[in-house]
Structure 1
Amino acid sequence: MRVVQNTQMELGEIDVSHIKFDLRSRDDIPKILRGLQHLYLDEALCHKVFALLESEIAPKVDKHNGRPGMTLWSVLVCGVLRLDLNADYDRLHELVNQHRTLRAMLGHSLYDEDKQYAYQTLVDNVSLFTPELLDRLNQIIVEGGHILIKKDESALRGRCDSFVVETDVHFLTDINLLGDALRKAITLTARWCESQHLSDWRQYRYNLRQLKRLMRNAQSKKRRKAADQQSNLQTIQAYQAYIEQAQCYVKKIQTTLTKLATTATRELLQKIEIEDYLQHAKRQIDQIERRVIKGEIIPHQEKVFSIFEPHTEWVSKGKAGVPVELGVKVCILEDQHQFILHHHVMERQTDDQIAVNMVTQAKKRFPILNACSFDKGFHSPANQAELAQHLEQVTLPKKGKLSKERKAIEQMEEFVKARRAHSAVESAINALQVHGLDKCLDHGMGGFKRYVALAIVARNIRRIGDILWQQDVERERKAIKRHLKHQQAA
């Protein structure tokens, strides 16, 4: 049984509309909760959000039978809070069980302190969101935000840029990747053998230490800066010893898997997982041998930068002090009201390949978008022509030397004004990175897309909270001013 929100209030429970915030607080949580409170209190917005959550999250679950789970409202609050605070599940677990205002927002009364959220419950429920659901939810929230600010302008002006969201990986080397692959393969095989009462890998901990010792020896030889022939020979010998030992373990694991296949026929998934790590190990052995011993240069497209997050890319954007980033690029399109209209996870794509798609998808969601600015990385002749068909004003600087006609276009007042305003998108990117998108803590490409989409939703809700917070502060300031004026008059 899963409901959107409990309609029957309990003794001591505070209605969401009556939750008060300290306007002098400079912490993040009250502003996030203020935005969520608006979602709950705005009748039209609340109906759309709840209808979407109810139809998309576990739609086949009977709402009237079964044990009660987390309400969909609680799931949304927890997901938004986790991303906007850039918190892991440990901190979220502590907050939802101990933070009084947050528990009031979740619908808990003062007398149900014994109702606690389990760590795994939070993980499982927040993971119910899908990127597609969050994209639709974001559209509803942005529309509500546009109504809130009572904009006079009928059209939206966008600014588009990309940045790298890092994956949760260590800085790679080929011997590190080989060590990771074999460590997992050996550990999983040894545990499987223990469950089947086989003694093939009873000394697997010693085997892992031996492998690590050889890896450290190869690393130490590589660090030496001496370029003489003897030093190079020692480095090659250290690498050779490491990959020979690795090959022995690979063969032994394959022999063990053949034996286990006859005794444990039902453990197919476990076998597939081990074989996947073995494939990683074989690839790394081949690349180490080609690079170190044969002196070849490994083509970039053959390289894998993480065996745990295989979607990780090596991104060099030429930033000062950040020569390389390990992650995946994400493109966002923000409007002049600082709401993020659309985002796109760029899987092995460049800026110029997704410029048109960003605009068309944003216009599909918000048809009143009629202008957008980009930087030079999005330029291509085809993009210039196609974007002009979708937008009234395209601010896309051209690369290289400009012709007289192009120079005249880029010196027009509207073009210059839009290009100067374009840098504001960096503020949105910085806000996203501060509030969750500096590093993705979820695993897999599916988890990465969900994490990014939830961060966009959380950022837009936070934007609503900031607007309302400023209005509340101004309202309180005027009330104090009136009160002082009446006191002076008396």
Structure 2
Amino acid sequence: MRHVKNPQLHFGEVNIADINIDARSRDDVPAILKGLQYIYTNDTARKKVFSTLAAIIDPSVSTEVGRPGMALWRIFVLATVKLGLNCDFDRLQELANQHNTLRQMLGHSGWEDTTVYKLQTIIDNVSALKPSVLAEINQVIVESGHEVAKKKPGETLRTRCDSFVVETDVHYPTDVNLLWDAMRKIIELTGKACESENLSGWRQYRFNQKQFKKYYRKAQKIKHSTSKDEEKRAAQCEKIYQTYREYLFEAERLIEKSKITLKTLNDLGKIFQVEQIAHYIQHAVRQIDQIDRRVLKGEVIPHSEKVFSIFEEHTEWVSKGKAGVPVELGVRVSIIEDQYQFVLHHRIMWNETDDKVAVPIIKEAKQRYPLINQCSFDKGYYSKAKVSRISLCDHA
């Protein structure tokens, strides 16, 4: 069973309206908690947020019996803090367990409540908040913010649109280190699967991983000769080819060995492990092909074929021409902000550029905020066709 928030205070619990938040603090956590406190103490905003959160609960599930789940208010608070701080789940866990004011906002008393949040519990519950739910709650918050900013009824919204890159947690990608990433996961997962099922062939998988890393390091460190002597350059070039051949040969040998083991694991019904290993094998085969074509055959790999992370495959190579920032690795996001500096709408640009989203993002924003009557874009969004189509949106 799950509730939005238990209305009955526990012994020692502080009412959210009475939580003392340091107004002079320049840290970001108190500012986020102050906003959450306002939402909770504003009757209209609280009812709308609570009704949106309540819609998450499956109506077929009883709210009276069963094992209690995390209250939706607590999930909302944790999700808001994570988004506001742009932090990972490890920091969120530390704050939820050690930050006294945040614990009061979560509904824990200071001295009797010894609740400790486990990392996986936080991950599972915060991930349950869908983007559509957060978009509805964002609309409630914007409306409340407009009241605080004394926006007049019927006043039009003047907006601006801009994009930025949400960086993913990846290292600088090269085909050589991406092959290493794929191979170390293949060796590790295959070895552990064989350990758990008492299968032979991978007893020394940790040693094999270290040995393969030596081939990777050799390929990573070898450089072209800068000598003016033609023979020395040719000799170094042949040495490079030989180093890469050995690297690719060892990768192919381990992949073939892993494929044989996959058949046995599949016969044992270990579907999840098989799919995991097969996923990384696909990445490894692609990287072997690209290294072979680039280094040994002298081809230029088309940008459309490149993958920049095997763990976060949505990562894109973004070059926006910023001073001092030649390239960013992540995903583009466009936002629309009004004159009161509230973010009205956002659009994640999966394989899209600025010039492709100008019309769609305005249409989506006007569906939620019909009072939008103007929007400024930077030159990356501009085209004459887009201007005429956006003008039609204003008259729709």
| TM bucket normalised to smaller | over 0.9
Instruction: Give the counterpart letter for 2:343 in structure 1.
Output: I
Residue 237 (structure 2) aligns with = 232
Work out the CA distance in 2 between the residues paired with 1:300 and 1:17.
54
Residues 335 and 224 (structure 1), Cα distance of their counterparts in 2 relative to 1, 3 Å cut: farther
**Contact 1:11/1:111 (<8 A) preserved:** no
Residue 348 (structure 1) aligns with = 351
- TM superposition shift of 1:342: 0.4
Alignment of 1:393-432 (within 5 A): none
Residues 293 and 261 (structure 1), Cα distance of their counterparts in 2 relative to 1, 3 Å cut: same
Pairing 1:193–2:194 present: yes
**Contact 1:57/1:128 (<8 A) preserved:** no
Residue 275 (structure 1) aligns with = 278
**Contact 2:224/2:236 (<8 A) preserved:** no
Instruction: Give the counterpart letter for 2:370 in structure 1.
Output: P
Work out the CA distance in 1 between the residues paired with 2:278 and 2:156.
55
Q: Encode CA deviations 1:335-393: one digit per residue, 9 max, x unaligned.
A: 0100000000001111111101111111100000000000111112220111112238x
- Would you identify which runs of 4 or more consecutive aligned residues in structure 1 move more than 3 Å? 57-61, 223-227
In structure 1, runs of 5+ residues without a counterpart are 393-490
User: Which of 227, 246, 261 is the aligned partner of 1:241?
Assistant: 246
In structure 2, runs of 5+ residues without a counterpart are none
- TM superposition shift of 1:22: 2.5
Alignment of 1:250-329 (within 5 A): 250-262=255-267, 264=268, 266-329=269-332
Instruction: Give the counterpart letter for 1:23 in structure 2.
Output: A
Residue 208 (structure 1) aligns with = 209
**Contact 2:224/2:240 (<8 A) preserved:** no
- TM superposition shift of 1:27: 2.0
User: Which of 374, 388, 392 is the aligned partner of 1:389?
Assistant: 392
Work out the CA distance in 1 between the residues paired with 2:257 and 2:148.
65
Instruction: Give the counterpart letter for 1:161 in structure 2.
Output: D
Residue 183 (structure 1) aligns with = 184
Residue 16 (structure 1) aligns with = 16
- TM superposition shift of 1:144: 1.4
Q: How many residues align?
A: 390
Q: Encode CA deviations 1:224-271: one digit per residue, 9 max, x unaligned.
A: 645711111111110011001111111111112123333x1x211211
SS at match of 1:371: strand
Work out the CA distance in 1 between the residues paired with 2:266 and 2:119.
36
- TM superposition shift of 1:165: 0.8
Residue 155 (structure 1) aligns with = 156
Residue 165 (structure 1) aligns with = 166
User: Which of 378, 381, 387 is the aligned partner of 2:381?
Assistant: 378
Instruction: Give the counterpart letter for 1:248 in structure 2.
Output: R
**Contact 1:93/1:118 (<8 A) preserved:** yes
Residues 237 and 337 (structure 1), Cα distance of their counterparts in 2 relative to 1, 3 Å cut: same
Work out the CA distance in 2 between the residues paired with 1:224 and 1:342.
53
Instruction: Give the counterpart letter for 2:184 in structure 1.
Output: R
Work out the CA distance in 2 between the residues paired with 1:113 and 1:225.
67
Instruction: Give the counterpart letter for 2:324 in structure 1.
Output: G
Pairing 1:34–2:34 present: yes
Q: Encode CA deviations 1:129-163: one digit per residue, 9 max, x unaligned.
A: 11111112111111111122111370001100111
Residues 260 and 18 (structure 1), Cα distance of their counterparts in 2 relative to 1, 3 Å cut: closer
Q: Encode CA deviations 1:74-109: one digit per residue, 9 max, x unaligned.
A: 111111112222332222222222222222211122
Q: Encode CA deviations 1:421-465: one digit per residue, 9 max, x unaligned.
A: xxxxxxxxxxxxxxxxxxxxxxxxxxxxxxxxxxxxxxxxxxxxx
- TM superposition shift of 1:201: 0.7
Work out the CA distance in 2 between the residues paired with 1:59 and 1:208.
50
User: Which of 323, 340, 361 is the aligned partner of 1:358?
Assistant: 361
Q: Which has the higher contact order (CA 8 A, sep 6+)?
A: 1
Alignment of 1:474-489 (within 5 A): none
**Identical columns (%):** 52
**Contact 2:345/2:365 (<8 A) preserved:** yes
SS at match of 1:83: helix
Work out the CA distance in 2 between the residues paired with 1:140 and 1:9.
26
Work out the CA distance in 1 between the residues paired with 2:141 and 2:77.
14
**Contact 2:164/2:334 (<8 A) preserved:** yes
Work out the CA distance in 2 between the residues paired with 1:180 and 1:110.
45
Instruction: Give the counterpart letter for 1:231 in structure 2.
Output: Q
User: Which of 313, 338, 348 is the aligned partner of 1:335?
Assistant: 338
Residue 464 (structure 1) aligns with = none
**Contact 1:164/1:328 (<8 A) preserved:** yes
- TM superposition shift of 1:295: 0.4
Residue 43 (structure 1) aligns with = 43
Work out the CA distance in 2 between the residues paired with 1:112 and 1:73.
20
Work out the CA distance in 2 between the residues paired with 1:120 and 1:60.
26
- TM superposition shift of 1:60: 4.2
**Contact 1:215/1:242 (<8 A) preserved:** yes
Work out the CA distance in 2 between the residues paired with 1:44 and 1:115.
31
Work out the CA distance in 2 between the residues paired with 1:372 and 1:57.
37
Residues 59 and 309 (structure 1), Cα distance of their counterparts in 2 relative to 1, 3 Å cut: farther
